[in-house]
Amino acid sequence: MEFTAATIAGFLKGEIEGNPDIKVNTVAKIEEGQEGALSFLANPKYEHYIYSTASSIVLVDKSFVPSGKIRATLIRVENAYEAFASLLRLVDQSRARKKGIHSTAIIETTAKIGSDVYIGPYSYIGENCIIGDGCSVYPHVYIGDNTKLGKNCTINPGVKIYHDCLVGQGCIIHAGTVIGSDGFGFAPQSESEYTKIPQLGNVILEDHVEIGANVTIDRATMGSTIIRKGVKLDNLIQIGHNVEVGENTVMAAQTGIAGSTKIGKNCMFGGQVGVAGHVKIANGTKVGAQAGIIGEVKAENTIIIGSPAIDYKQFLKSSVIFKILPDMKIKIDTLEKEVDSLKRK
């Protein structure tokens, strides 16, 4: 698809500086710009690229003041990053969407399939499933008995959704993810044996949840593991049984949440965060990468980091001490020797 600067500016309610008729047909990072590409500048540390980029159009904030000559056409908007994201959504929505049910798909007779649905090759839809209007189920997807998908969900290749799970409207689940596998429940019978505890609950994804690739969300022992409305999970995340993740919380890759933990709404987790079981985390908590949370976070909107996780300001002060510990050890050893010498005298 091809757009002029005038068309883009009209869509974004932006102001043009340069040629309104110049056209773009692709997008590119500002440092990798090429003729016919649209880029954006939001982070000041990338400003030097705007003076050399070959991109035809660059989105910038209205407050941006250039310090040199720019050959690209500029479109000034309130927020360049958000404007660029809205354009990407527009391009994505304009792509042709697959429709119809492939002849190799297996759909049990008791399943109910909505209108305008795509079901790809070698996918399986179980007994009493409900697939909502406008859903896309890509190849090699397994959807177990009694599972329900709301309208306009996208289930990417190789996803497995076990029986009795509920998926809300507008959810996106990326390739290789497993929803509703058994929670890690075993009762010790002796020093060397464990008995499996049946996992009889399910998983509920509320509306507009997006799950990355190769994520595992365990079903509850009883009741439900719940991912609330608007949650966004990155790739390679483990959510244990009976966990609840609050609305609009986001988690980066390789985070692990142990069973029965309750996470508040509007939280942010960096990569490789680990959370112990049966913990409550307050609304708005921000957790730095590789933090380990072993106890309750009671105060809302706090920022924590470290393992065990503590207030980030305390962590920064402590990290200064960490760096000088070897020197401190040498000084203490020297002082101990001097004290021992004085005692002998």
User: Whole-angstrom Cα distance, residue 31 to residue 50?
Assistant: 8
Catalytic choice (163, 174, 208, 241): 241
User: Whole-angstrom Cα distance, residue 214 to residue 174?
Assistant: 8
The full length of the chain comes to: 345
Contact 274, 293 (CB under 8 A): yes
H-assigned helices in 80-234: 80-93
| 241 included as an active-site residue | yes
User: Whole-angstrom Cα distance, residue 345 to residue 343?
Assistant: 5
Give the start-end residues of each E strand in 192-277.
194-196, 202-205, 210-211, 216-218, 224-227, 232-233, 238-239, 244-245, 250-251, 256-257, 262-263, 268-269, 274-275
Q: Which of 234, 223, 222, 229 has the alpha carbon at shortest distance from 245?
A: 229
Contact 245, 263 (CB under 8 A): yes
**CB-neighbour burial class of residue 116 (10 A; exposed 0-12, middle 13-18, buried 19+):** middle
Contact 16, 36 (CB under 8 A): no
Q: Which of 18, 134, 154 has the alpha carbon at shortest distance from 73?
A: 18
**CB-neighbour burial class of residue 6 (10 A; exposed 0-12, middle 13-18, buried 19+):** middle
CA distance readout (Å), 183 to 72, 137, 178, 258, 315: 55, 25, 12, 10, 34
Kindly give, in sequence order, each residue whose CB lies less than 8 Å from that of residue 29, ignoring residues fewer than 6 positions away: 39
Active site (catalytic) residues: 241
